[in-house]
Every structure is written in C-alpha cells, then in structure tokens.
C-alpha cells in the first residue's frame, strides 16, 4: 500500500489572466507562493513528511514543490518527472478563451464541447491525457511499498486522477473543484487499485478567493 499526496501547483499569473498554459509556463503569483508555503508549514505543524517527492518539471509545479518542502526540510528529495505535466494543449497554449474563439472558432467549439477525443494540433486529447496520467501515477506508486509520497502536479492531472480512481466518465461534466495547492490524498494497492482518502482540503488557506480554473 502506498499513500499519495497529489497537489496542484500554486496560483500563477496566467491562471489569473485566464490563459491556457499546458506545457508553457508562467510564474507563481505572490498568493501562489503563499499557498505553497502555507501548505509546507501545515505539513510541518502536523509532523507530515514524505519518503519520496516528485514534481512535474514545469516551473510552476517545481517552484511550488520547493516552497512546500522547504519548511519540512525535504527540498533535496524533489525528483523532476515530466510524466506529471499538465495536458499538452498544442497550438492553443498561450491563448485566452476569447482569443481562441476569435482566432480559431472551430478549435474553440471543440475545445469547450468536452469532446474527449478532440486533440489540439501538437497536443493531447483528454483521452490521451487520462491514459498518460493513470499510467504515470501507477508507475510512480509501484516504486514504493508502505510509503508516503508527495506528487506536485497540475489541475488537469489531479482531475484525471479523480476520474480514474472513481471511474468518472470523461464525457461527464466536471462537478468538482481543484483549488491551487489543495490537499488530495489517494491510496494505491497493487492488487486493488486506487482509493480516495481526502479531496480538496484547503485548511491551510488564509482568507481569499479560491481560483479553480484549470488552464
């Protein structure tokens, strides 16, 4: 059995501007850094530490991992893993929804339709992404036995994890929120698969708006 803490990165500048990030990157906002540091302090106060720590190699996730791990003195354990990246959005990365609608109306229509097989040019479909997410998280979990691991990733990846854990169909509209740095805890059993223990715990947040948008 392996316990996996799955965390979305802190708020970014492009989150605030509604720009599709995908495999492109933007800096954490001061609030995003505060969210990550607050989570690290929460782990410290709760005496939570990890046997292994993985982070997407994209800067916003890696910076979040560093901010989380510094208070608990485990920043040297961070391993970069590109399989934890956000969904690749290909040629629509760097665009807002309005820019996408104006410049590529057919791509916009298919993008917002929720079609699980729509693949932006140079990117991944939701189905591609689900398969990658499930495969990579299982591969990471299988490296460990009776251990607690931390994975810092992205909103889309966390969403896929909940879907494959609870068997939520890709075509079902998302009815759950994924706040930045919320604590999501899964348990993996080699024989029995995934079990959800905790979802969306933001008890480390100070007062302020929760930004849920997955971009």
Residues with a known catalytic role: 9, 86
- Number of Cβ within a 10 Å radius of residue 135: 12
- Report whether 132 contacts 36 (CB < 8 A): no
- Report whether 122 contacts 169 (CB < 8 A): no
Positive/negative CA dihedral, 45, 212, 185, 203 = positive
Strands 147-153 and 193-201: unpaired
Cα–Cα distance measured from residue 31 to residue 122, given in angstroms and rounded to the nearest whole number? 32
Q: Is 88 helix (H, G, I), strand (E, B) or coil?
A: coil
């Amino acid at each position: 059995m392996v316990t996996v803490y799955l965390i979305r990165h802190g708020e970014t500048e492009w989150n605030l501007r509604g720009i599709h990030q995908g495999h492109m990157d933007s800096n954490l906002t001061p609030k995003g850094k505060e969210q990550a540091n607050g989570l690290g302090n929460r782990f410290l106060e709760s005496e939570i530490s990890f046997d292994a720590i993985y982070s997407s190699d994209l800067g916003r996730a890696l910076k979040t991992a560093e901010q989380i791990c510094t208070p608990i003195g485990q920043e040297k354990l961070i391993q970069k893993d590109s399989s934890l990246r956000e969904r690749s959005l290909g040629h629509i990365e760097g665009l807002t929804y309005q820019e996408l609608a104006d410049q590529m109306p057919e791509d916009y229509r298919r993008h917002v339709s929720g079609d699980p097989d729509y693949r932006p040019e140079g990117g991944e479909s939701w189905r591609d992404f689900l398969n990658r997410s499930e495969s990579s998280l299982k591969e990471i979990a299988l490296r460990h036995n009776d251990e607690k691991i931390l994975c810092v990733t992205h909103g889309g990846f966390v969403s896929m994890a909940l879907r494959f854990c609870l068997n939520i169909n890709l075509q079902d509209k998302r009815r759950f929120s994924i706040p930045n740095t919320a604590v999501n805890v899964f348990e993996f059993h080699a024989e029995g698969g995934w079990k959800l223990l905790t979802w969306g715990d933001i008890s480390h947040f100070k007062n302020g708006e929760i930004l849920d948008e997955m971009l």
